[in-house]
Amino acid sequence: AVPLVVAKSTALSAKNGLLIKNRTAFENSRKISTIVFDKTGTLTVGKFEVSRIVILEEGIKEDSVLRAASALEKNSEHPIATGIMAIVKERAIAVPEANDFQAITGQGVQAKIDGKEVKVVSPGYLKEKDIPLPENFNANENETVVFVIIENHLVGYIALSDMIRPESAEAIKTLHDHKIKAILLTGDNKQVAKSVSDKLGMDGFFAEVLPHQKLEKIKELQEKKEFVAMTGDGVNDAPALAQADVGIAVGSGSDIAAETAGIILVNSNPKDVVSLILFGKATYRKMI
Residues annotated as catalytic are: 38
> Do 98 and 110 form a contact (C-beta atoms < 8 A)?
no
| Cα angle: 273, vertex 107, 212; to 5 degrees | 60
Give the residue ranges of DSSP H helices in 225-270: 238-243, 255-260
Q: Is 107 a binder of ligand ADP (CB under 6 A)?
A: yes
Q: Please report, to the nearest 10 degrees, the dihedral formed by the alpha carbons of residues 45, 47, 50, 51 taken in order.
A: -20
> Do 241 and 257 form a contact (C-beta atoms < 8 A)?
yes
Q: Is 146 a binder of ligand ADP (CB under 6 A)?
A: yes
Q: Could you give the CA distance from residue 274 to residue 255 in angstroms, rounded to a whole number?
A: 23
**What is the torsional sign of CA 197, 18, 264, 45?**
negative
Q: For 44, phi and psi rounded to 5 degrees?
A: -110, 170
Q: Is 186 a binder of ligand ADP (CB under 6 A)?
A: yes
Q: Which does 186 bind (CB under 5 to 8 A by kind): Mg ion, ligand ADP, none?
A: ligand ADP
Q: Is 106 a binder of ligand ADP (CB under 6 A)?
A: yes
CB of 122 to ligand ADP, least distance (A): 3
> Do 169 and 198 form a contact (C-beta atoms < 8 A)?
no
Q: Is 29 a binder of ligand ADP (CB under 6 A)?
A: no
| Cα angle: 174, vertex 178, 181; to 5 degrees | 80
Q: Could you give the CA distance from residue 132 to residue 128 in angstroms, rounded to a whole number?
A: 10
Number of residues that bind ligand ADP (CB under 6 A): 21
Q: Tell me the window of 14-22, 48-56, 181-189, 252-260 that interacts with ligand ADP (CB under 6 A).
A: 181-189
CB of 142 to Mg ion, least distance (A): 17
Q: Is 76 a binder of ligand ADP (CB under 6 A)?
A: yes
237 CB neighbour count, 10 Å cutoff? 28
Quick one: 234 or 251, whose CB is closer to Mg ion? 234
Q: Is 83 a binder of ligand ADP (CB under 6 A)?
A: no
Q: Is 234 a binder of Mg ion (CB under 5 A)?
A: yes
Q: Tell me the window of 1-9, 19-27, 91-99, 183-191 that interacts with ligand ADP (CB under 6 A).
A: 183-191
Q: Is 175 a binder of ligand ADP (CB under 6 A)?
A: no
Q: For 8, phi and psi rounded to 5 degrees?
A: -60, -45
Q: Tell me the window of 5-13, 32-40, 55-63, 174-182 that interacts with ligand ADP (CB under 6 A).
A: 32-40
Q: Is 39 a binder of ligand ADP (CB under 6 A)?
A: yes
Q: Which residues bind Mg ion (CB under 5 A)?
A: 234
Q: Which residues bind ligand ADP (CB under 6 A)?
A: 38-40, 73, 76, 78, 80-81, 106-109, 120, 122, 144, 146, 186-188, 234, 236
